[in-house]
Amino acid sequence: MRIVLLGPQRRPTLEAAARSLGLSGPELAGPGLAGPVATITAGWQEREPDDALLVSLLEGQAVNLALYRRWLDVQDRDPEYRAGEQRLAGVLAELQELYLLRLDYALQAVYAVQRRSAPAPAPASGDALGEALEAVRELDAAHLRRVNEARLEFFDRLRPHDRPVIAENRAAVSAVLADAAALVIAGGHVGVLAEVLHLFNVAAALNGAPVIAWSAGAMALTDRIVLFHDRSARGPGHAEVYGSGLSLLRDVVLLPHARARLLLDDTPRMTVFARRFAPARCVPLEAGTRIDVPADGAWPPGIRTIEAA
């Protein structure tokens, strides 16, 4: 499956990307690309239906999968599932809090060792920095494992595919995707996006048509969603592993608005960032970025990544 990753769309580049894939413009409905473009704007939450601009950029060939509305429908008509989901949210919140508590100490240790090692580590110190970083990597991995286990346990217990309201909505989503020439996933709330993409089984319903995604939409395609905000109101926070997306893209951490949200000039900090998530490549998605990942998943050469110094 071909995947096109775009930077934030304040100045839209979607139209050009869609044209290049034959989804709109003179090459409309190019070979194998007949049918409407399915769109997902669930990351916008209550503003999900406000997609007039998106539709116009796709020259009217869009069908919104309305995943947020469908999620509200499930909440409304399946109280047992709703209650279970609330319990799961509580468990995940607790897991995240404990993880962040431990992560804070682990990363403080990394930075302390890093400061002490500058400009060069003492001969006796061995690979103290590497070992401190390894502790963070293990913590990240353990957290992701626990989150996925909690979700798996939830799905095993609630069996969404056996629940009529969910099954009905999944069938509707699957029907649109079966005929879709492409799937377009907009940004927004990455947690909400990941949730509804899993709930309505979007990965299984994809028909091999190209996927275009940006910002949170792009993050939700990866196997490891990393939240980050170095410039938040309460000061630089630690990048944190949130969970798994659709895993259509593996071994990559996507970073929309990297320049605005990360302290990219802080070389030691960015070195820790890159080493922490290696061998995954840490890829900024800035305005104007376009990355075409071909069907074989091989990343094109020359992609800008955040590297360890």
Partner 1 sequence: MKTLPKLAINRLRERRPLDAAAVDRFLARHEVPIVEGARCTFLYRGEADEVFLIHRIFGLPDHLPLRRLRGTDLWYAVLELPEGSRVEYQLEVAFADGRRERINDPLNPRLAHSPVGSSSVCYAHGHEIPDWTVDDPEARPGSLVDMVVPSRALRRDCPVTLYLPARFRRADPGTRYPLLIVHDGGDYLRYAAAKTVLDNLIHRLDVAELVAAFVYPGDRLTEYANSAAHARFLTAELLPRLEAELPLAGTPSGRCLMGSSFGAVASLSAAYRHPGVYGSLLLESGSFVFTDIGHDHGGGPVFEPVVRFVNRFRAAPRRVADRMFVSCGVYEPLIVPNRSMVPVFEAAGMTVRYVEARDGHSWENWRDRLRDGLSWIFPGPQKYIYE
7 sits near partner 1 (criterion: CB under 8 A): no
234 sits near partner 1 (criterion: CB under 8 A): yes
Among 22, 35, 160, 256, binds partner 1 (CB under 8 A): 256
Among 8, 22, 243, 245, binds partner 1 (CB under 8 A): 8
Q: Taking the complex as a whole, how short is the minimal distance between the CB of residue 195 and partner 1, in angstroms?
A: 11
Among 30, 82, 98, 171, binds partner 1 (CB under 8 A): 82
Residue 104's identity, in one-letter code, is: D
CA dihedral 269, 250, 1, 228 (to 10 degrees): -40
Total site size for partner 1, rule CB under 8 A:
30
149 sits near partner 1 (criterion: CB under 8 A): no
Q: Among residues 215, 198, 191, 120, which one has the least CA distance to residue 158?
A: 198
Distance in angstroms (rounded) separating the CA atoms of residues 43 and 221: 13
229 sits near partner 1 (criterion: CB under 8 A): yes
Q: Considering beta carbons, is residue 18 or 285 the nearer one to partner 1?
A: 285
Q: Considering beta carbons, is residue 87 or 161 the nearer one to partner 1?
A: 87
233 sits near partner 1 (criterion: CB under 8 A): yes
Q: Taking the complex as a whole, how short is the minimal distance between the CB of residue 22 and partner 1, in angstroms?
A: 27
232 sits near partner 1 (criterion: CB under 8 A): yes
Distance in angstroms (rounded) separating the CA atoms of residues 123 and 114: 14
CA dihedral 176, 182, 186, 189 (to 10 degrees): 60
Q: Considering beta carbons, is residue 114 or 215 the nearer one to partner 1?
A: 215
- Residue 289, token pair as written in the block: 């970025």
Question: Exposure of 212 by Cβ count < 10 A (0-12 exposed, 13-18 middle, 19+ buried)?
Answer: buried
Distance in angstroms (rounded) separating the CA atoms of residues 298 and 301: 9
Q: Which of residues 171-190 bind partner 1 (CB under 8 A)?
A: 187-190
Q: Considering beta carbons, is residue 82 or 259 the nearer one to partner 1?
A: 82
85 sits near partner 1 (criterion: CB under 8 A): yes
Distance in angstroms (rounded) separating the CA atoms of residues 223 and 280: 10
Q: Considering beta carbons, is residue 22 or 85 the nearer one to partner 1?
A: 85
Three-class SS of residue 252?
Answer: strand
- Sign for the CA dihedral angle at 257, 258, 261, 265 comes to negative
CA dihedral 233, 50, 35, 12 (to 10 degrees): -50
Among 46, 156, 265, 296, binds partner 1 (CB under 8 A): 46
Instruction: Enumerate binding residues for partner 1 (CB under 8 A).
Output: 8-10, 46, 75, 79, 82, 85-86, 97, 187-192, 215-216, 219, 227-229, 232-234, 237, 240, 242, 256-257
